Structure 1
Amino acid sequence: MKNFIKIVVLLCCCVASAQDKKGETVYFEFDKYTLYEDQVKTIVDFAKKADTTKIESIQIYGYCDDRGENDYNYKLSKNRVETVQNILLANGFNKNKIVVIEGKGRVIVQKDTVSDLDETRSKNRRVDLFFVQKNSYGKGIYNSIQKKHKVGDRIYLENILFDMGSSVLLPSSKLELDKIALLLLQNKTLAFEIKGHVCCTPATYDDAIDKETKQRNLSNNRAKEVYKYLISKGVSRLRMTYKGYGNKFPLGKGDAMDRRVEFLITQI
């Protein structure tokens, strides 16, 4: 279920200055969506020290611990996200840069696998903030098709995203693919692999389950849907291949960004 996230590995965060950090986390008391002053200050300080000229967008995700009903915790996690968003806006953060706000609901814990259940639960009552920096993809990685490419370039399609557990193209994704198809029809020699990715899957699994097919091949199905749509828009199938890569290559920029599709240029 989309409101469930299984904890398999606890990640330790490296200490970094607020200027260098690409994310922040604040914590809530049990069954609350208001914050103590020290947590409010964490958000305010982080927002003020962030160089907004280098930030493309911000994503905010809220969570609850494992106690209580699913629907209640889903609403509570959304309220926590809205609390953080309102603090950012009240302190001058550009509303247009907040592109994702999502309550994730409960974080499920296997109680016999943690040494300190109370501490684990306290860390799960949280909101995570992720900054997506402008031009932060690195050399040879782009967020749109360029006039000139070289073999090995990657094109990360920011606006080709999917609902949790789904391979169905969203209407907004189809509009974006329409634009991409026009560019590909203008550059007829460009060949590429369509790479599908997923988020939120335990490390013990290579891929996620597609809720449409009930099979564990979600990343491949996402790539295939893009492949089929581009064919429907006149792009030759001889220029394209597709493959699913499961959860092997997270971007570290939030779950929504990991539910993505990329192009890998294979011929120019």
Structure 2
Amino acid sequence: MKNVFLISLLFTHFLWAQEELKHEVFFETDQFEITETEQSRLLVFLSAIENIDIEKISIYGFTDDRGSASYNLALSQKRANSIKTIFSNNEVDESLITNVDGKGKILLKLIQEENISKIRGLNRKVVIIVSPVFPPKPIVEPKVKTAKETLEGDIKIGDNIVLDNILFQTGYSYLLPESIKTLEEISKVLLKRDDIYFTIQGHVCCTQNSRDAIDRKTNKRNLSLARAKHIYDYLVKKGIDSKRMKFVGMRRKFPLGGEAKYDRRVEILVTYVSEIN
């Protein structure tokens, strides 16, 4: 039985080891800006790792064999840095990125002489390696008073209410499926509490210098605004008077300091409470 357990443990570890994900981004000669085609490929990769519990991300830049060693080292670093910037713009937690290194040139290995151009093209790249956590971390939800409970209680002007469990897909204003039920409950409370006037504030995670993130749907840097408007449009459809609401994008001005997914959020700022007759 002990041997069976050890074999099972080793097999499980092997499976997790195999789940290390790798992606390569290719560049034009002497360039470190990513092309539109390569950016599309990278966004597909980012979507694939969204639901993985990540231990670390490594980003390594390379060049082909032409040019001086110092030039290639600098160019490979710029390529790695450009990929890190795209990760940040698309709400990837920078604390997970443990390596962003330019490795310089890859020496040319000839197979056939006519393949030189193709081989060099494949050497002008950044390699991204995503390592999952083993074993997976247990999910610990923050213990706070729910938005529904708060909205049903005493409300005053200036109250800022985090809409708990209203979470978004990375890089999008689309809600995660488990958030729909919570939003439905909140909309019912707000229909009853027609004395509350409020501003819906959208937030993003992981960008640099309090910047907004890029909305992958529109490729515009206004994701926090798009998230706020998504909630606004939903509440309007549920019958809540649009005159009671406004929506704004808060970019990444107020990170919560916990897991990155909780910064992909919306909040309600109470701006006025009318007297109930």
TM-score, with normalisation over the residues of structure 1?
0.53
Partner of residue 79, structure 1: 133
Query: Does residue 169 of structure 2 align to residue 163 of structure 1?
Result: yes
- Give the direction of change, closer, same or farther, for the CA distance of 1:234–1:264 in structure 2 (3 Å limit): same
Q: How does 1:30-49 map to 2 (within 5 A)?
A: none
- Give the direction of change, closer, same or farther, for the CA distance of 1:146–1:70 in structure 2 (3 Å limit): farther
Deviations 1:86-113 (CA, angstroms, capped at 9, x unpaired): xxxxxxxxx56x35xxxxxxxxxxxxxx
CA contact 1:143–1:157 (8 Å) conserved in 2: no
Flag the structure with higher helix content.
2
Cα displacement (A) at 1:264: 0.3
Partner of residue 232, structure 1: 237
Partner of residue 245, structure 1: 250
Q: Among residues 54, 59, 65, which one is paired with 2:99 in the alignment?
A: 65
Deviations 1:186-215 (CA, angstroms, capped at 9, x unpaired): 111111000000111111x63111000110
Query: Does residue 257 of structure 2 align to residue 223 of structure 1?
Result: no
Cα displacement (A) at 1:167: 0.9
The one-letter code of the counterpart of 2:133 is N
CA contact 1:144–1:156 (8 Å) conserved in 2: no
Query: Hey, what's the Cα distance between the residues in 2 that align with 1:134 and 1:258?
Result: 15
CA contact 1:143–1:158 (8 Å) conserved in 2: no
CA contact 2:148–2:186 (8 Å) conserved in 1: no
- Give the direction of change, closer, same or farther, for the CA distance of 1:63–1:225 in structure 2 (3 Å limit): same
Query: Hey, what's the Cα distance between the residues in 2 that align with 1:182 and 1:249?
Result: 28
Cα displacement (A) at 1:253: 1.3
The one-letter code of the counterpart of 1:66 is V
Query: Hey, what's the Cα distance between the residues in 2 that align with 1:143 and 1:73?
Result: 43
Query: Hey, what's the Cα distance between the residues in 2 that align with 1:155 and 1:214?
Result: 29
Deviations 1:146-201 (CA, angstroms, capped at 9, x unpaired): 32200000110121111111112232222211100110111111110000001111
SS at match of 1:195: strand
Partner of residue 156, structure 2: 150
- Give the direction of change, closer, same or farther, for the CA distance of 1:244–1:223 in structure 2 (3 Å limit): same
- Give the direction of change, closer, same or farther, for the CA distance of 1:213–1:134 in structure 2 (3 Å limit): same
Identity over aligned pairs, percent? 36
Cα displacement (A) at 1:143: 7.3
Q: Among residues 195, 206, 213, which one is paired with 2:201 in the alignment?
A: 195
Query: Hey, what's the Cα distance between the residues in 2 that align with 1:255 and 1:153?
Result: 23
Partner of residue 44, structure 1: none
Give the length in aligned residue pairs: 164
- Give the direction of change, closer, same or farther, for the CA distance of 1:154–1:226 in structure 2 (3 Å limit): same
Query: Hey, what's the Cα distance between the residues in 2 that align with 1:236 and 1:71?
Result: 50
Query: Hey, what's the Cα distance between the residues in 2 that align with 1:177 and 1:202?
Result: 29
Query: Hey, what's the Cα distance between the residues in 2 that align with 1:142 and 1:177?
Result: 9
CA contact 1:166–1:210 (8 Å) conserved in 2: yes
TM-score, with normalisation over the residues of structure 2?
0.51
Query: Hey, what's the Cα distance between the residues in 2 that align with 1:176 and 1:185?
Result: 14
Partner of residue 173, structure 1: 179
Query: Hey, what's the Cα distance between the residues in 2 that align with 1:245 and 1:188?
Result: 25
Cα RMSD (Å):
3.2
The one-letter code of the counterpart of 2:227 is R
The one-letter code of the counterpart of 2:100 is D
Query: Hey, what's the Cα distance between the residues in 2 that align with 1:71 and 1:133?
Result: 39
Partner of residue 46, structure 1: none
Q: Among residues 270, 274, 277, which one is paired with 1:265 in the alignment?
A: 270
